[in-house]
């Protein structure tokens, strides 16, 4: 599309304060891009002034279309009345009490012209209090389908191709309160392209009784949202059950993994020991024991790649843990974590490979199926788990990068923290995952060439993550499978300048992280 599109702004109206309604209409009329129609559907507002305001506005501007329903049908029916009347190539969803930035439509038009096949666009947003102050700006991730399953993060401003909206049946009955979430899930299932416009274009007004000010104001919306996500995973063939997440308006998915899937856990080690919670332990032994006791999947093989210096009693303890398939591979070279991983994968047979540090202890039940199941879904390249330090603060919740700097997101944040916009309570796409706990299909590992042996200690996981993403595959951090990571208990963590130089030569990073732009 080279010509500018025509927008149909659809706004269901039900009894807003009239001054707020007037301001919303004015924010549309003041748009710098003027090719639009505003369809206002009054759903039998009790206050007669509402219809007076709508009629007066329509008389002043021919681009305003007012539909006056005779029977209150709630937001789904009112919205569908507007969509049925829409003439534009794109539908723009605006609530009756919110505000737009004056250049919002122009920015969206530019994004559409840059992405001619886009079927859904969304922008960043913030909130507006009763004193006119803007706050709580939500700098959203780029398109993150897994996060959309966990929460309705795209929200405002949403711009959808009209033909796709109508093809999927517009808004569906039975999803009041989460009707936008349900619609966006169905549209993005069909969309050729989804585009995030990283600019605050929409101001969500906080008024009494609104979800903007009180997430618990509409409990029915959370129930409808769970129903919408369950319907979505059923449609796309994800076998699992959706339940409520930790935070209001969030959801968790318990996926099913076929029992006949062989999962290979590859653990490099030198049999190191250390103190954890006041007790001395052999890390690799306890790591394998946790796989056996809390992995949650019987069809597992464990491949331990051990240095020649590993004490013989450690190998004997490993043999005594009751692992059905245990392979011990000796490594007699100078330390190279990447090569040890590659050797371990080469010695394994599973269709799923899990790279696991020896200083990891799985703490949540069903850990392995939760990590492995998403790998069989289209577009997923690798998964990672929620890792905690022994003091229950966050060690790993995805890696963020900006320019050529890399860091753990939410490092040392309390493990029970929800994170900004509940980012720590939902599954989500990330820019990179730690090699301390990294799962992928064997075919993916082989295709991208495994771990770079030129990076024997540091950044090999970042490099592997970038290679996977280069293939157009997504990296998914999962918030439910949890393990403790007793980081650097078996070696001193040192990053050498030459390692950073290799990464700078191989990869170029953006100024802000694509999935956690607010984290630096």
Question: What string of DSSP letters covers 210-263?
Answer: -TTT-TTS-HHHHHHHHHHHHHHHHHHT--EEEEE-SSTTBEEEEE---TT--E
Q: Quick: pLDDT tens for 369-388.
A: 999 999 999 999 999 999 99
- Enclosing domain of residue 363: 263-506
Q: Quick: pLDDT tens for 246-278.
A: 999 999 999 999 999 999 999 999 999 999 998
**Pair (230, 269) in one structural domain:** no
Give the pLDDT score at 333. 95
Q: Is residue 254 part of a domain?
A: no
Single residue among 190, 219, 245 that ends a domain in this structure: 245
Q: Is residue 258 part of a domain?
A: no
Q: Whose CA is closest to 432, among 509, 369, 486, 359?
A: 509
In this model, does residue 491 exceed pLDDT 80? no
Q: Quick: pLDDT tens for 432-472.
A: 999 999 999 999 999 999 999 999 998 899 999 999 999 99
* Range name among 20-24, 33-37, 148-152, 406-410 with the lowest pLDDT average: 406-410
Q: pLDDT over 90 for what percent of the chain?
A: 87
Evaluate whether 18 touches 53 at the Cβ level (below 8 Å).
yes
**Pair (223, 310) in one structural domain:** no
**Pair (240, 293) in one structural domain:** no
Claim: this prediction has a pTM higher than 0.85: yes
In this model, does residue 208 exceed pLDDT 80? no
**Pair (199, 267) in one structural domain:** no
**Pair (215, 348) in one structural domain:** no
Give the pLDDT score at 209. 58
Q: Which residues contact 495 (CB under 8 A, 6 or more apart)?
A: 458
Q: Is residue 251 part of a domain?
A: no
Give the pLDDT score at 520. 55
pLDDT band at 396 (very low <50, low <70, confident <90, very high): very high
Q: Output the average pLDDT for the chain.
A: 93
**CA 328 to the chain's CA centroid:** 37
Q: What average pLDDT does range 491-505 have in this prediction?
A: 76
**Pair (240, 323) in one structural domain:** no
In this model, does residue 215 exceed pLDDT 90? no
Indicate the number of domains in the chain: 2
Give the pLDDT score at 402. 76
Give the pLDDT score at 508. 76
State whether residue 202 is helix, strand or coil: strand
**Pair (362, 239) in one structural domain:** no
Q: Residue 366's domain is classified under what CATH number? A: 3.90.550.10
Alpha helix segments (H runs only) across 265-323: 283-294, 312-319
């Amino acid at each position: 599309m080279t010509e500018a599109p025509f927008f149909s702004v659809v706004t269901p109206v039900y009894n807003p304060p009239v001054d707020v309604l007037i301001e919303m209409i004015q924010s549309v009329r003041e748009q710098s891009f003027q090719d639009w129609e505003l369809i206002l559907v009054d759903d039998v507002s009790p206050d007669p002034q509402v219809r007076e305001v709508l009629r007066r506005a329509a008389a002043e501007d021919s681009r305003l279309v007012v539909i006056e329903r005779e029977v209150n049908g709630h937001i789904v029916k009112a919205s569908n009345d507007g969509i049925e009347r829409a003439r534009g190539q794109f539908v723009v969803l605006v609530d009756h009490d919110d505000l737009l930035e004056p250049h919002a439509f122009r920015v969206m038009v530019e994004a559409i012209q840059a992405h001619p096949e886009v079927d859904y666009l969304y922008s960043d947003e913030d909130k507006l209090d009763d004193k006119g102050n803007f706050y709580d700006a939500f700098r959203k991730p780029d398109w993150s389908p897994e996060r959309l399953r966990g929460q309705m993060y795209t929200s405002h401003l949403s711009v959808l191709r009209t033909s796709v909206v109508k093809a999927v049946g517009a808004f569906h009955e039975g999803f009041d309160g989460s009707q936008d979430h349900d619609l966006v899930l169905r549209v993005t299932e069909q969309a050729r392209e989804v585009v995030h416009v990283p600019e605050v274009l929409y101001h969500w007004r906080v008024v009494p009784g609104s979800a903007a000010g009180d997430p618990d104001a509409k409990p029915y919306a959370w129930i409808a949202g769970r129903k919408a996500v369950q319907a979505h995973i059923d449609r796309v063939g994800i076998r699992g059950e959706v339940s409520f997440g930790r935070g209001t308006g969030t959801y968790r998915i318990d996926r099913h993994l076929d029992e006949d899937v062989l999962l290979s856990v590859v653990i490099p080690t030198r049999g190191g020991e250390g103190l954890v919670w006041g007790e001395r332990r052999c890390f690799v032994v306890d790591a394998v024991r946790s796989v056996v006791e809390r992995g949650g999947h019987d069809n597992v093989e464990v491949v331990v790649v051990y240095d020649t210096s590993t004490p013989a009693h450690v190998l004997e303890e490993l043999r005594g843990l009751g692992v059905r398939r245990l392979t011990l591979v000796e490594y007699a070279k100078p330390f190279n974590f990447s090569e040890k991983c590659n050797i371990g994968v080469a010695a394994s047979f599973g269709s799923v490979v899990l790279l696991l540090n020896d200083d990891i202890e799985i703490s949540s039940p069903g850990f392995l199926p939760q990590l492995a199941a998403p790998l069989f879904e289209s577009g997923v390249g690798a998964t990672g788990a929620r890792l905690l330090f022994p003091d229950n603060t966050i060690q790993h919740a995805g890696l963020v990068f900006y320019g050529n700097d890399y860091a753990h997101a939410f490092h040392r944040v309390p493990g029970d923290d929800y994170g900004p916009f509940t980012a720590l309570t939902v599954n989500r796409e990330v820019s990179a995952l730690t090699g301390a706990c990294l799962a992928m299909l064997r075919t993916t590992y082989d295709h991208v060439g495994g771990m770079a042996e030129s990076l024997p200690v540091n950044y090999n996981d970042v490099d592997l993550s970038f290679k996977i993403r280069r293939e157009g595959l997504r990296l998914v951090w999962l918030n439910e499978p949890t393990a403790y990571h007793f980081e650097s208990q078996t070696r001193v963590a040192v990053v050498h300048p030459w390692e950073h130089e290799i990464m700078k030569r191989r990869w170029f990073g953006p100024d802000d992280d694509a999935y956690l732009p607010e984290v630096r």
